[in-house]
Amino acid sequence: MKYPIETEPPVDLSADEAALLREMPELDGVGQSRRTFMINSAAGGVGLFAANLLAQEAALAQMPLAKGAATAPIKAQNVVRVGLQVNGVQQTLELDSRVVLLDALRERLALTGSKKGCDQGQCGACTVLVDGQRVLSCLTLAATLEGREVTTIEGLARGDQLHPVQAAFIKHDGFQCGYCTPGQICSAVGLLGEARRGDVSHVTADVSKTTTRLTDDEIKERMSGNICRCGAYPGIVAAVQEAHSGRQTAQTWGFATDTQLASLRKEDGHETV
């Protein structure tokens, strides 16, 4: 039997690659170089891996599978019943034991304020509060939350009255596209609790105090797990600082007046109405 590896000039195949080619005689005469074949195989493998991940995620969250995302349904395993409070409402969920809090919130309770950015603990977009402490919901198994209290961005306001951190974010323009904002605000609310308890951070100068006054450097350090791709950081720091210190600082933006809008339209060549 003849294999490409024996008929072509030596190339830098690893032992695993060479073994794989020996296992697949149908490659003989395919017309691809071994390297091209290996690259394509790798790409195909990644595609399959991604499809499997999508299928698994959809199945775990009990969503309809996207067409072509999977060939076989994945059954929920180790189903557990979890009772927890979410935004003050008692919930009982039956979940595959692998389901993370973020998916339970978004797919089972329709609380889509918490965002799935990286899904691996890197961006902070999924931050929520568990018993008042901030956690990354994409890294928190829902099954571990029996009897716990979860607060998401949807649970911070009291009716029409915004949480002080929410109001400060609006006042200080602490967002642009808004994608990271639910996580930023939940993280900031958790951070204010940490300061009240006197939790120290990497930049705390005096660790003997029982409460922490948040300098801008403290806020930047403690919010560093929340990424904002729009770069709204100056507004975020100002908002957290105002919510923490209670010192009112001037709003740096305002809605345009009718006269200003009319003048802008004129400058743009549009007639005023």
Closest-CA residue to 240 (of 165, 184, 175): 165
Encoded amino acid at 67, one letter: K
- Whose structure tokens read 């959809």? 58
- How far is 48 from 38, CA to CA, in rounded Å? 15
Between 35 and 229, name the residue whose CB sits nearer to ligand FES: 229
The reply on whether position 138 binds ligand FES by CB under 6 A is yes
CB 108 within 8 A of CB 164: no
Residue nearer to ligand FES on the CB measure, 55 or 123:
123
* 34 versus 134: smaller Cβ distance to ligand FES: 134
Min separation Cβ 231 and ligand FES, Å: 8
What x/- string results for residues 181 through 220 when contact with ligand FES is judged by CB under 6 A?
A: x---------------------------------------
180 binds ligand FES, rule: CB under 6 A? yes
Contact, 165 vs 185, CB < 8 A?
Answer: yes
**Backbone phi and psi for residue 27, each to the nearest 5 degrees, phi listed first:** -75, -20
Contact (Cβ atoms closer than 8 angstroms) between residue 105 and residue 137: yes
- Give the count of beta carbons closer than 10 Å to the beta carbon of residue 171: 19
| Using rule CB under 6 A, residue 136 touches ligand FES | yes
Amino acid at 217: D
Q: Could you tell me the smallest distance in angstroms from the CB atom of residue 226 to ligand FES?
A: 9
Q: According to CB under 6 A, which one of 121, 132, 193, 234 is a site residue for ligand FES?
A: 121
Beta bridge partners of 128: 135
Q: Which residue in the set 27, 104, 153, 232 belongs to the binding site for ligand FES (CB under 6 A)?
A: 232
Applying CB under 6 A, does 118 fall inside the site for ligand FES? yes
Structure tokens given for 214: 């948040």
Nearer to ligand FES, 47 or 121 (CB): 121
| Identified binder of ligand FES from the candidate list 123, 142, 150, 237, rule CB under 6 A | 123
Q: Establish if 178 lies at the interface with ligand FES (CB under 6 A).
A: yes
Residue 67: Cβ within 10 Å count: 6
Name the site residues for ligand FES (rule: CB under 6 A).
Answer: 116-119, 121-126, 136, 138, 175-181, 228-230, 232
